[in-house]
């Protein structure tokens, strides 16, 4: 392979299109990481099963469409509720017994991810499944340097909307104030009558529900496999860590990582782009381990 075959020469319009594609990648990174940001930021739980929550959301959408004929848009809130309830049950039945034991929590959620993968494989088999995309999203935007599918445009808009709703819940509601109080000082929050266990349950359920909706959206882009969640968990953790384990930081880091990934993919290829991106992340965390934006919390 010659250098010319490996390295794509610069051309303005294709490069601008790659920047626009980067916005789409950023929205995918953000949606995948949003639930993880809420769970880890509020609870300090390293949830290795987060990718499987995404997978469960995708398969729940498949079931709702295939067996009940429910439209794609209606699947989104139904999936959120279903996966949130599953997350609530997992938090109360498993995670709650492992607080203050991060290594045990990591191992337990990793084991849970394997159980969920094998359970879905036993129920649905290993053959690929598909989520139906509504016809009104079956279009392409072709304008000068912009080439974008309707599904990706919908994901961008949805990511902005969900990010805004989550920000409002965290910073403009009583529940959000209580969540941030528990994040900063659990004992002090308890002295003001805040039930930390209830906050943890609601936070975990909300984060799981967001992951489920992410699965619905990703199912519209790619085929469904029982182990599909493992393809998103790495990017989700990278967004959270680079962003500084906060909502605003995750917004910025997903945008930066999405654009860098798209730019490197334009000049080289997807595999080498991931290598460069991961290398830059390691270097960045070496000099700024606290991430882009820190909110000054003290977890207890």
Question: pLDDT tens digits for 45-78?
Answer: 888 999 999 999 999 999 999 999 999 999 999 9
Residue 298 has pLDDT above 50, yes or no: no
User: Which residues does 123 contact at the CB level (< 8 Å), separation at least 6?
Assistant: none
| Least confident piece of the model among 6-10, 13-17, 210-214, 282-286 | 6-10
Distance CA 43, CA 195 (A): 13
In this predicted structure, which of 71-85, 124-138, 172-186 has the lowest mean pLDDT? 172-186
Confidence of residue 245 (pLDDT cuts 50, 70, 90): confident
Q: Mean pLDDT, to the nearest integer, of 82-86?
A: 97
Q: Which of 273, 272, 42 is nearest to 166 (CA)?
A: 42
| pLDDT (0 to 100) of residue 4 | 52
List, for residues 262-288, the tens digit of each pLDDT value.
Answer: 888 888 877 888 888 889 998 998 899
φ/ψ bin of 127: left (φ > 0), alpha (ψ from -120 to 50), beta (otherwise): beta
Instruction: Tell me if 226 sits within 8 A of 58, measured CB to CB.
Output: no
pLDDT of res. 253: 92
pLDDT of 3 strictly over 80: no
Contact criterion met (CB below 8 Å) for 224 and 128: yes
Per-residue model confidence (pLDDT) at position 1? 47
Among 216, 210, 218, smallest CA distance to 57 is for 216
List the domain boundaries for the chain: 35-230
Dig out the tokens for 182 from the structure.
């528990």
Q: Check residue 99 and give its pLDDT.
A: 79
Better-predicted residue by pLDDT, 290 or 161: 161
Whole-number pLDDT of residue 145:
67
Please spell the DSSP secondary structure of the chain, one letter per residue: --HHHHSPPP-HHHHHHHHHHHHHHHHHHHHHHHHHHHHHHHH----TTHHHHHHHHHHHHHHHHHHH---HHHHHHHHHHHHHHHHHHHHHHTGGGGTT-HHHHHHHHHHHHHHHHHHHHHHH-SS-B-PPPPGGG--EEEETTEEEEHHHHHHHHHHHHHHHHHHHHHHHSHHHHHHHHHHH-HHHHHHTT--HHHHHHHHHHHHHHHHHHHHHHHHTTS-B-TTTTHHHHHHHHHHHHHHTSSHHHHHHHHHHHHHHHHHHHHHS-HHHHHHHHHHHHHHHHHH-TT-S--------
Q: With 60 as the cut, is the pLDDT of residue 297 above it? A: no
Instruction: Please state which of the ranges 6-10, 71-75, 224-228, 242-246 shows the lowest mean pLDDT.
Output: 6-10
Q: How many residues does the chain have?
A: 300
Q: Across all residues in the chain, what is the average pLDDT?
A: 87
């Amino acid at each position: 392979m010659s250098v010319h075959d490996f390295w794509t020469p610069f051309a303005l319009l294709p490069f601008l299109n790659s920047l626009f594609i980067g916005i789409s990648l950023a929205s995918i990174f953000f949606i995948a990481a949003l639930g993880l940001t809420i769970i880890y930021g509020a609870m300090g739980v390293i949830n290795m099963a987060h990718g499987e929550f995404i997978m469960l959301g995708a398969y729940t959408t498949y079931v709702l469409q295939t067996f009940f004929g429910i439209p794609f848009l209606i699947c989104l809130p139904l999936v959120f509720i279903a996966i949130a309830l599953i997350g609530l049950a997992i938090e109360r039945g498993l995670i709650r017994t492992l607080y203050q034991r991060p290594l045990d929590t990591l191992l337990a959620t990793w084991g849970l991810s394997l159980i969920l993968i094998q359970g879905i494989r036993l129920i649905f088999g290993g053959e690929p499944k598909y989520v139906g995309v509504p016809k009104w999203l079956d279009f392409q935007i072709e304008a000068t340097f912009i080439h974008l599918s309707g599904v990706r445009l919908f994901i961008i808009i949805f990511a902005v909307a969900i990010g805004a709703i989550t920000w409002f819940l965290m910073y403009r509601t009583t529940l959000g104030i209580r969540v941030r109080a528990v994040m900063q000082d659990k004992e002090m929050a308890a002295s003001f009558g805040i039930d930390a266990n209830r906050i943890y349950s609601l936070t975990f359920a909300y984060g799981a529900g967001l992951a489920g909706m992410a699965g619905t959206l990703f199912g519209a882009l790619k085929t469904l496999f029982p182990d599909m969640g493992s393809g998103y968990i790495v990017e989700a953790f990278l967004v959270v860590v680079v962003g500084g384990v906060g909502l605003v930081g995750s917004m910025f880091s997903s945008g930066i990582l999405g654009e860098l990934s798209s730019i490197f993919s334009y000049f080289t290829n997807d595999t080498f782009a991931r290598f460069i991106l991961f290398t830059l992340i390691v270097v960045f965390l070496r000099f700024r381990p606290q991430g882009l934006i820190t909110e000054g919390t003290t977890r207890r």
